[in-house]
């Protein structure tokens, strides 16, 4: 089975490209951001707790996010492939994912890292904020905070997966179609 982490800063195009990969390879799409937004829309206790962090551009605590993934473990262990979109976001989450996959005799195949310059990220997020109504895309201060949080807490994952020889950088600029083709070519070579 194939387990791909679609990685990159906020605005790198993880969600968009996950859909392209899911359509092409029929993998399961596991977006922790989407799961959290569904919890918020359903006004669950977990959702209300997560909303405070998300609106501030901060990360939801590891145990909450890891718990959410654990609930899906049975499916993760049985589908032909999974695309992880927005997870793991910390080294703690990466270690928890490794443990969960080991428990079903699986492992991460690769980390596909979408590389996009800072100014392009900000531009994309401001445009998305206008159309999506996402509260965390609404103002520049929250966007800049999310990028800083990414650099401090999430970027270290690159070294984590480099050491495991699983790091695959992909140019994340160009048209959606061009980037999707780069990703599909990379996955075909795995
Ligand atoms: O992945 P996405 O950009 O959709 O996530 C939106 C927000 O959800 C993040 O900025 C963060 O506040 C929260 N989140 C998180 N931990 C994750 C995934 C998302 O804290 N693993
Ligand atoms: Mg997303």
Q: Report the distance separating Cα 45 and Cα 53, nearest Å.
A: 14
pLDDT of 74 reads 87
Within 8 A by CB and 6+ apart from 149, the residues are 57, 58, 59
- Show the ligand 1 pocket: residues with CB < 6 angstroms: 10, 32-33, 36, 53-54, 58-60, 65, 86-87, 89, 136, 146
Q: What is the DSSP letter of 137?
A: G
pTM above 0.85, yes or no: yes
pLDDT of 135 reads 85
Query: Cβ distance 125 to 139 under 8 Å?
Result: no
pLDDT of 140 reads 94
Fold of 2-181: Rossmann fold (3.40.50)
Q: Is 134 a catalytic residue?
A: yes
Atom of ligand 1 nearest to the CA of 149: 10
User: What pLDDT, in 10s, does the model give residues 45-82?
Assistant: 999 999 999 999 999 999 999 999 999 988 898 898 99
User: What pLDDT, in 10s, does the model give residues 7-48?
Assistant: 999 999 999 999 999 999 999 999 999 999 999 999 999 999
Query: Cβ distance 4 to 21 under 8 Å?
Result: yes
Q: Is 89 a catalytic residue?
A: yes
Tokens of 40: 């918020």
Cα end-to-end distance, the chain, whole Å: 12
Single out the catalytic residue among 37, 51, 124, 128.
Answer: 128
């Amino acid at each position: 089975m194939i387990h791909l982490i679609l990685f990159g800063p906020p605005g790198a195009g993880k969600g968009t490209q996950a859909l392209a990969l899911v359509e092409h390879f029929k993998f399961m799409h596991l977006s922790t951001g989407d799961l959290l937004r569904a919890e918020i829309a359903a006004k669950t206790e977990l959702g209300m707790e997560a909303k405070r962090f998300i609106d501030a551009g901060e990360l939801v605590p590891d145990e909450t996010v890891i718990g959410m993934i654990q609930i899906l473990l049975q499916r993760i262990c049985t589908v032909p492939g999974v695309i992880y979109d927005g997870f793991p976001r910390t080294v703690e989450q990466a270690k928890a994912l490794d443990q969960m996959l080991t428990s079903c005799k699986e492992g991460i195949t690769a980390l596909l890292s979408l590389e996009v310059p800072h100014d392009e990220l900000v531009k994309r997020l401001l445009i998305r904020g206008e159309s999506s109504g996402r509260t965390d895309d609404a103002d520049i201060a929250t966007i800049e905070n999310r990028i800083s949080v990414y650099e401090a807490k999430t970027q270290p994952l690159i070294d984590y997966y480099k050491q495991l020889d699983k790091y695959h950088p992909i140019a994340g600029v160009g048209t959606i179609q061009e980037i999707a083709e780069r990703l599909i070519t990379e996955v075909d070579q795995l």
